[in-house]
């Protein structure tokens, strides 16, 4: 209940409902499916400074959920085959009159879920076969048996357990017992507009004065938690009495025929949720016909014996108060309009009144409290539009519609039809639309009303996100079920590139000084990259390789897209078999260094997920091969890290996740002395000299780089027979938490080397080394940690010896940083695989431009060792014809490459 000084209904108190069940308030609503106006979401993007919240970028998340069977099946705006069924109603009383009367007044008849304008239409509903399709039925019911899902019923969350500014777990009460659950990663609050704010406040995150008044230890003074509450203020216009028996009177439609129609066909009156049409329009303020501020729902229900009781229950009003009004019309055919203020200015608050989660919070929506009085004037004007609609249009005049047949109780002293009467009616007969939002608003860093950032992370603390309607900065102008589901979809599809993900450009000034610039692309470009990787890789993902001056060397196609190749003359010789002959090595850290830099001990469980925060440095040669385009470099290495993660995911113990926190792009060769100072007379480079210098480079420039656990140099230079080099067990140790890894920037052949060298950093020596404890795993088995690198099917896996040695390292204090996740944000590895960007033929053409994949191998053989064919002069050379030659690349196929119709190379085999 809440008290409101601006409303004068019974006792000035009003009940507010929320769905305390699986599926939340989607179990309580009128099942109307509406998204809101595109300008609502464009406004969110403007407020947050994040283009990913623009409607054009959110449309995919709306469509993602939908299985659309509604009134406007346009694939541009609606999705098909999603989990949430959207249906048009099989029973729509008087909807033709609703629409034809609106047309008479000049309103459009169009889809309110597309490019919404001032328009009227029938409604779409979240129903399936005439039954409610809640979010529980759509998203949860079919996955209850998942191993990574545990639902605790009959529980109430007390608070989030905090260790300093870090969320560590959750305390909840079940059947009187206090239970703690610890979190390995993040905690996501989806407790709704009232619950999420209350949990944060009880956890010590909120206004200082409130926390102190309840003796709650303050974790972070965040004054705006619980502030900014908005709702669609609702009143009822009607009953609009009719002279003809055309409306729905509940008592008259419940009969054996309607029951049978509902049971057998999911159709008929018993499927009807009380609303059959909707209308959006704008009042004089604000003046934007394409961004309506009034929403009117049309209900063709007459006045039955239980109307007053039903209205009191649904609208949470006092029964005796409404009974005085409705009793005079009992048995009359009539219709009603639920008039909503779709874009209110008034804001309220939610504040806990106790540390006991069972004590309801104090909720004050502050209806009609805006200083300039715009809200009440807009509703008065909206009321008058609806009265005009019923009294001046042909369909309703024929039915003798009377929208104001009697004074509402308490307004008897005002003349019916006057502005004063309408205002009195509004202040007496006001209800919630159950569309509350905005108590944990998102916004930019300098936004005083921002509780969360645009990635929904709570400000001032770590590892807490809020994903529900409370994060809306401003209420959208229609029902909130659809946009709340959209927020869930967007939150679940965490952006690949976060705000704090950094790209550092290493360039030169005119005087020859090294300059480190922030080259992180705009949020719009990052959002587009995110779209390409998440949604439509086949048509959008692009790899284009050119020299640094933009000259294309050769060209080919990947999935009908242009790709340029290097011919081996100017920059770097690609396509030879040298990578297959290269071996990877590691260096031991001197004992005196370890003694001089003792790690700080932490308490944690060894079975916790190890999170490796990885910084990648791309040398000038690879930068040139990728055209110097930051966006292409981001995409290529996002996919590279995804492929590395696949290899680490195969080791269930330990559980390792690689997070890419940033990329340093070296744009000028003079900016990489840690490489160039070690060039030999034969053109090869000394890896043993590069590695320590690269480690010092990471330390010297640490202030410009995102916090990281490991730094990996990706280089195109030849290091003789060495494909990479790393320090053993060096994660978390400055200067030594480094590796160098050869790559080609085209075929993802460097994935295996990066996985191997990271393995060294994480405590794994080579297989077959008895002195290091891996003698039981023969080097010849060619697992990832083989001296020659992984190969064949085993090349995607760590041997049991590697797992054991890494697990030993993870259990020491030297691995502390791998459990702390220091970076403020990180890059989630791309779900795209290398095989989405390259085919077997593309792989072969890098070996020789005219080469193509051999057709003599089985799909499984191809996935383990690629063979290519090409036409060349026969041997001896004096013959006047050419032969088809076969070359074995001794390379594993890229992850995800198509090997058979509908199948891909996965972990060395061809499978679905």
Annotated binding site: 756, 760, 766
Bridge partners, residue 565, by sequence = 554
Pairing state between β 909-911 and 903-906: antiparallel
> From the candidates 757, 780, 861, 903, which is the catalytic residue?
757
Q: Which residues contact 172 (CB under 8 A, 6 or more apart)?
A: 152, 155, 156, 157, 158, 178, 179, 181
| SS percent in the chain: helix, strand, coil, step 5 | 30, 20, 45
The candidate with the shortest Cα–Cα distance to 868, out of 844, 842, 838, 890, is: 844
DSSP letter assigned to residue 849: T
User: Both ends of the chain: CA-CA distance in Å?
Assistant: 55
d(CA 164, CA 180): 17
Structure tokens given for 565: 């190749």
Bridge partners, residue 32, by sequence = 125
Whether 744 is a known active-site residue: answer: no
d(CA 132, CA 23): 11
Q: Where are the beta strands (DSSP E) in 653-781?
A: 656-666, 710-715, 722-727, 738-742
d(CA 222, CA 201): 9
The candidate with the shortest Cα–Cα distance to 500, out of 221, 734, 822, 819, is: 822
d(CA 472, CA 41): 9
Phi, psi dihedral angles at 885 (to 5 degrees): -100, 150
DSSP letter assigned to residue 402: B
CA-to-CA dists, residue 912 to 361, 831, 858, 860, 905, angstroms: 51, 16, 16, 12, 9
Q: Where are the beta strands (DSSP E) in 319-369?
A: 334-341, 348-351, 362-364
Structure tokens given for 214: 């309840």
- CB crowding 889-912: b at 16 or more within 10 Å, else e: bebbbbbbbbbeeeebbbbbebee
Bridge partners, residue 900, by sequence = 903
The candidate with the shortest Cα–Cα distance to 633, out of 594, 599, 660, is: 660
Phi, psi dihedral angles at 346 (to 5 degrees): -65, 145
> Which residues sit in the known binding site for Zn(2+)?
756, 760, 766
Active site residues: 757
């Amino acid at each position: 209940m809440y008290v409101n000084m601006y409303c004068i209904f019974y006792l000035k108190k009003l009940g507010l409902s929320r769905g305390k069940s699986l599926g939340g308030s989607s179990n309580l609503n009128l099942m109307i499916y509406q998204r809101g106006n595109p300008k609502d979401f464009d406004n969110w993007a403007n407020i947050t400074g994040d283009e990913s919240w623009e409607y054009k970028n959110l449309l995919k998340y709306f469509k993602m959920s939908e299985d659309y069977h509604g009134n406007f099946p346009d694939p541009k705006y609606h999705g098909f085959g999603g989990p949430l069924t959207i249906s048009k109603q099989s029973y729509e009383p008087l909807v033709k009159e609703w629409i034809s009367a609106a047309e008479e007044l000049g309103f459009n008849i169009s889809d309110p879920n597309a490019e919404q304008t001032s328009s009227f239409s029938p409604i779409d509903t979240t129903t399936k076969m005439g039954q409610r399709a809640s979010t529980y039925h759509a998203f949860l019911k079919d996955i209850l048996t998942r191993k990574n899902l545990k639902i605790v019923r009959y529980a109430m969350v007390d608070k989030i357990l905090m260790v300093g500014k870090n969320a560590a777990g959750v305390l909840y009460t079940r059947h009187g017992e206090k239970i703690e659950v610890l979190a390995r990663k993040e905690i996501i609050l989806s407790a709704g507009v009232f619950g999420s704010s209350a949990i944060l406040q009880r956890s010590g995150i909120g206004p200082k004065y409130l926390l102190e008044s309840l003796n709650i230890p303050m974790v972070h003074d965040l004054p705006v938690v619980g502030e900014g509450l908005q709702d669609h203020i609702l009143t009822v216009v009607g009953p609009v009495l009719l002279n003809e028996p055309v409306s729905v009177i509940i008592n008259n439609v419940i009969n054996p025929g309607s029951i049978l129609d509902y049971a057998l066909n999911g159709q008929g009156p018993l499927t009807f949720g009380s609303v059959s049409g909707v209308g959006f329009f704008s009042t004089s303020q604000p003046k934007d016909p394409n961004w309506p501020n009034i929403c009117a729902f049309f209900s063709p229900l007459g006045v039955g014996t239980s109307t007053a009781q039903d209205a009191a229950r649904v609208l949470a009003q006092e029964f005796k108060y409404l009974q005085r009004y409705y009793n005079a019309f009992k048995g009359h055919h009539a219709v009603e309009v639920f008039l909503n203020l779709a874009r209110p200015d008034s804001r309220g608050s939610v504040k806990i009144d106790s540390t006991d989660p069972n004590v309801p919070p104090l909720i004050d929506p502050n209806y009609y409290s805006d200083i300039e009085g715009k809200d009440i004037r807009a509703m008065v004007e909206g009321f008058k539009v609806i009265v005009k609609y019923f009294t001046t249009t042909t369909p309703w005049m024929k039915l003798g519609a009377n929208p104001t047949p009697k004074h509402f109780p308490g307004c008897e002293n005002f003349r019916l039809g006057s502005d004063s009467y309408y205002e009195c009616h509004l202040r007496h007969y006001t209800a919630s639309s159950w569309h509350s939002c905005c108590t944990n608003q998102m916004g930019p860093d300098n936004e005083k009303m921002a509780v969360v950032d645009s990635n929904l992370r709570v400000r001032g603390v770590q590892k807490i996100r809020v994903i529900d309607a409370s994060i809306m900065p401003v209420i959208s102008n229609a029902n909130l079920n659809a946009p709340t589901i959209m927020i869930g979809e967007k939150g679940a599809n965490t952006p690949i590139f976060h705000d704090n993900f950094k790209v550092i450009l290493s360039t030169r000034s005119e005087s020859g000084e090294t300059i480190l610039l922030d080259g992180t692309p705009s949020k719009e470009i990052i959002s587009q990259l995110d779209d390409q990787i998440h949604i439509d890789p086949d048509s959008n993902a692009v790899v284009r390789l050119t020299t640094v001056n933009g000259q294309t060397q050769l060209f080919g196609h990947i999935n009908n897209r242009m790709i340029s190749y290097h011919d081996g003359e100017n920059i770097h010789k690609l396509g030879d078999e040298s990578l297959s002959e290269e071996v990877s090595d590691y260096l031991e850290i001197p004992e005196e260094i370890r003694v001089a830099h003792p790690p700080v001990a932490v308490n944690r469980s060894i079975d916790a997920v190890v999170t490796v925060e990885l910084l990648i440095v791309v040398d000038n040669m690879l930068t040139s091969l990728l055209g110097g385009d930051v966006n292409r470099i981001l995409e290529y290495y996002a996919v590279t890290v995804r492929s590395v993660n696949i290899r680490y995911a195969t080791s269930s113990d330990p559980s390792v996740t690689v997070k890419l926190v940033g990329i340093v792009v070296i744009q000028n060769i003079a900016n990489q002395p840690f490489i160039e100072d070690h060039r030999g007379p034969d053109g090869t480079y000394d890896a043993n000299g590069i590695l320590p210098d690269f480690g010092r480079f990471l330390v010297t420039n640490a202030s410009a780089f995102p916090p990281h656990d490991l730094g990996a140099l990706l280089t195109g230079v030849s290091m003789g027979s060495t494909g990479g080099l790393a320090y053993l067990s060096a994660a978390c140790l400055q200067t030594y938490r480094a590796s160098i890894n050869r790559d080609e920037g085209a075929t993802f052949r460097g994935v295996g080397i990066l996985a191997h060298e990271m393995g060294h950093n994480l405590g794994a020596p080579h297989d077959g080394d008895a002195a290091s404890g891996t003698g039981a795993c023969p080097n010849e088995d060619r697992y990832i940690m083989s001296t020659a690198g992984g190969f064949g099917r085993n090349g995607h896996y760590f041997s049991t010896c590697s797992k054991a040695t890494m697990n030993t390292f993870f259990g020491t204090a030297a691995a502390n940083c791998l459990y702390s996740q220091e970076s403020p944000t990180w890059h989630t590895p791309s779900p795209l695989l290398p095989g989405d960007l390259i085919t077997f033929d593309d792989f072969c053409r890098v070996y020789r431009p005219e080469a193509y994949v051999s057709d003599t191998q089985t799909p499984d053989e191809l996935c383990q060792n690629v063979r290519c064919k090409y036409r060349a002069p026969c041997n001896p050379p004096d013959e006047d014809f050419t032969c088809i030659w076969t070359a074995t690349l001794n390379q594993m196929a890229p992850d995800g490459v198509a090997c058979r119709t509908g199948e891909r190379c996965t972990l060395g085999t061809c499978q679905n």
